[in-house]
Amino acid sequence: MKKDTVACPRCHFDNPSETNFCGKCGTKFGMTDGPSFSRTMTLLTPVPALQRGKIFAGRYEIIEELGRGGMGSVYRAEDKKVSEEIALKLINPEIARDRRIIERFSHELKVARQISHRNVCRMYDLGEAEKTHFITMEYVPGEDLKSLIKRIGRLPEDKALAIAKQAAEGLAEAHRLGIVHRDLKPGNIMVDREGNAKIMDFGIARSLKAKAVTAAGLIIGTPDYMSPEQAEAKEVDGRSDIYSLGVILYEMTTGQVPFEGETALSVAMKHKSEKPRDPRDLNPQISPAAGRLILKCLEKEKEKRFQTASEISAAIEALGEGAPAAERTGARRKPLTSKEFTVTFRLRKFILPGLAAVVLAVLGFVLWRIAFKTKPVERSVAVIHFQNQTGDAAFDYLRSAIPNLLITSLEQSKYLQVTTFERLGDLLRQMGKQDAKTIDGDFGFELCRQDNVEALVLGSYVKAGETFATDVKIFDVKTRKMIKSFTAQGEGAQSILDKQIAQLSREISRGVGLSKKAVDETKTLMAQTPAASIDAYKFYLAGHEKLEKMFFDEARKDLEKAIELDPQFALAYHDLSKLNLRSGNMPAFLETITKAREFSARAAEKDRLYIEADYAAHIDRDPEKRFRNLQEIAAKYPKEKEIHLTLTGYFMSKGMFAEAVVAAEKGLALDPEWPIMLNQLGFVYLEAGDVVKAEEILKKAIAVAPDEPNAMDSLGFLYYRTGRLDEAIEAYQRAIKVKPDFGGEELIGYIEAVKGNYGDALAWIDQFILMAPGNDNKGRGYWWKAI
């Protein structure tokens, strides 16, 4: 986005429009006289203006001017050598004329290039061409935070905290490498169309602080955001950036900076000596906890502030309002991802943590095992698909419903380790069989042996008049001999839920060899069923499957039907809450997650833990409690695929990419061709900067699930992010072809507009509008709704 400039009335220096003081002489705009830092330097040589289409330095084709400021002019350009867009910053001649400054720039940019984080704009090279020094860096489409605040006023608390949390995470990585920004301000934070934030200009402020420059009279640091130690010209560390971030957060939530003055010097002195006004005096809607957080950042003594940027991130997380992009309202349709709508131009190496992190991970695992002791398992059992022998396809749904209900029931016994038919289906696919429904006795025995399962349950059901009868046979896996056979029956399909599942569960427990005490101890729990209506359970299973495949509209219809048939169906409410969260409908989300928890007593332990985890994150605003619940599920149900998917998303949202990869690999060890997990792992590598690996994994996800659009859409985003626009359009179109109502028309339109094909862009936008008339939740073109 192009920035306007403001000419100083004293020295006529061009300044960015968001600046209150002249970056050359220190005059406050609107003044005709008064003190300033310095007026000794004049603009001797103008920065050369580059016209659209010009090839600069033999490789950079100018697309447009983005803005001008004290450093120089900034252009959006295409690097013809690698066919990627970059930002090109021409350095003002009065700065570049001193070789010591250029040498310092070169050194600082080498250091700044070490920062590889999703919330930091990458710095590339320092060069010289056509008698002009220049810096190349990552181009971030979007709007700087200062312009955003100026355009829409103060931000809602949760959105301000979300942006601040991202900035804190970027600072944390820079500070870990020993790099301090020194000039953090809203103008140096870009916010893209999905609300993702990136800090710019690392390394520049320190370079400008060289004695030669300050002696010449340039102001270093922006007075409105300057820490007290900067105002005193003392040496600074990461806590100075923390102070600046506090000022930014103050401005985002109140609409104004904490200190104002007639000159840059007067503002700097207020930062040194005056106590800021409580932000809640200016905006009573700020929560007390957020107000305290802001004021702690603004402590005069740096020892009293947050000591690290990670502490701020954790404090925001504790408030529950700074959730990562993937979990914020208005996020795009991918679950548990935090995609940035930016263009990345260089591959970033994915660096695993050192030995200390490995030791901590091992220690953490040991602690998990201590905190959540494994169940005193006596026997392991697998339940696989039941056969429909009614002769009526209308009852095919019971092929999944009966084993699912049995598994849920049997899992309540701490004496049984239950392997689901989905788990066996995953193993079956690994053996070259694509349809889990083809599991028969022979394959079942082979799969059970692979998974160290001792007993195998096979079953069928018949219908005579209104009577339903369910037959179960238990086999010893090692000998293949039948241990026990029995039948339960009742009037109508509803009897399966009302009494047959409880009977069958007890018989299976006895049949696999559990003691009478063990059976009696858990028979009450095993008798509980998650739904009151078998028809409601049918719709829930259908909706849950469609939700996993990201067929959201169809999933919503099935889940709402399940709730209509059973108004106290906790699992249906929980799945529906996930849909509401990702669509950005927070009132509906809060209602449905609250309902899920209200009725969770009827759910199985594992499902209750999932519900409690989401409730802790969004209602209790207790991220530590949420993580403890997730840890407990992982410890108690190690073969539960979903928990590894959830933990992958959790770690990725924290920027803990190594841990995210480990969690994803655990899930893929259970099912190497799990499309959702492959898609998620692809995003882990993309966020970590390993684009090659991300593309490889997303292509694998497409290969294993060619009838699902999610990975195609994800690959389209990767191509857009890396500047491969034609390939991005092709991938998005492929997703739409597979699932016409999946969405993506607006993104193709945006890319066509970026390419300058405005007619095609409008056609795609029109198609998007036709596909979603009046649907604000799909209106992702209005990007400010997402921040």
Give the C-alpha separation, 457 to 445, whole Å: 10
CB atoms within 10 A of CB 33: 8
**CA distances for 284 relative to 64, 249, 417, angstroms:** 42, 15, 53
Give the C-alpha separation, 453 to 417, whole Å: 9
**CA distances for 668 relative to 422, 423, 532, 631, angstroms:** 14, 12, 34, 18
Choose among 758, 759, 781, 756: nearest CA to 768.
781
**DSSP 8-state symbol, 437:** G
pLDDT score for 727: 93
**CA distances for 783 relative to 2, 148, 320, 666, 715, angstroms:** 18, 12, 22, 35, 21
Give the C-alpha separation, 595 to 598, whole Å: 5
Give the C-alpha separation, 637 to 752, whole Å: 47
Domain ranges of the chain: 5-138, 143-201+220-327, 379-527, 531-639, 660-787
Q: With helix as H, strand as E and coil as C, how does 487-524 read? A: EEEEECCHHHHHHHHHHHHHHHHHHCCCCHHHHHHHHH
Q: Which two tokens stand for residue 462?
A: 């018949």
pLDDT score for 519: 82
H helix or E strand, kind and range, residue 467: strand 467-476
What are the strands of the beta sheet with 60-68, ordered from one edge?
Answer: 55-56, 60-68, 72-79, 84-91, 132-138, 123-129
Query: Would the CA dihedral through 350, 355, 356, 357 be positive or negative?
Result: positive
Q: Which residues contact 222 (CB under 8 A, 6 or more apart)?
A: 19, 21, 183, 185, 187
CATH topology for 531-639?
1.25.40
143-201+220-327 and 379-527 agree in CATH topology: no
pLDDT score for 361: 47
For the chain, which ranges sit under pLDDT 70? Answer: 1-48, 69-70, 94, 96, 98, 104, 203-222, 263, 320-378, 420-444, 446-447, 771-787
Residue 319 in contact with residue 293, Cβ under 8 Å?
Answer: yes
**DSSP 8-state symbol, 263:** B
pLDDT score for 254: 92
Give the C-alpha separation, 750 to 767, whole Å: 13
Choose among 221, 137, 123, 238: nearest CA to 179.
238
CB atoms within 10 A of CB 635: 18
Considering just the CA atoms, what is the radius of gyration of the chain in Å?
30
Give the C-alpha separation, 70 to 3, whole Å: 13
82-92 b/e with 16+ CB inside 10 Å = b?
A: eebbbbbbbbb
Q: Active-site residues: which are they? A: 183
pLDDT score for 548: 80
pLDDT score for 297: 95
H helix or E strand, kind and range, residue 602: none
CATH 3.40.50.10610 fits 379-527, yes or no: yes
Give the C-alpha separation, 280 to 277, whole Å: 8
Q: Tell me the pTM.
A: 0.47
Q: What is the pLDDT of residues 209-224, one digit of tens each?
A: 443 333 333 334 468 8
**DSSP 8-state symbol, 303:** G
Torsion angle, CA of 96/98/104/105, rounded to 10 degrees? 0
pLDDT score for 430: 53
Q: Which two tokens stand for residue 312?
A: 């701020």
Give the C-alpha separation, 555 to 558, whole Å: 5
Fill in the amino acid letter for 770: L
CB atoms within 10 A of CB 394: 9
Choose among 421, 420, 408, 377: nearest CA to 607.
408
| CA 254 to centroid of chain Cα atoms | 27
Strands 143-144 and 123-129: unpaired
Give the C-alpha separation, 783 to 341, whole Å: 10
On the CB side of 634, CA atoms within 13 Å amount to 25
Q: What kind of architecture, by CATH, is found in domain 5-138?
A: 2-Layer Sandwich (3.30)
Give the C-alpha separation, 58 to 134, whole Å: 13
Give the C-alpha separation, 250 to 293, whole Å: 10
User: Look-up: residue for tokens 């935090």?
Assistant: 338
Q: What are residue 143's DSSP bridge partners?
A: 191
Q: What is the CATH number of domain 660-787?
A: 1.25.40.10
CATH code matching the domain that covers 143-201+220-327, chosen among 1.10.510.10, 3.30.70.370, 3.40.718.10, 1.10.760.10: 1.10.510.10
Residue 367 in contact with residue 404, Cβ under 8 Å?
Answer: no
Q: Which residues contact 496 (CB under 8 A, 6 or more apart)?
A: 398, 401, 402, 405, 461, 468, 470, 490, 534
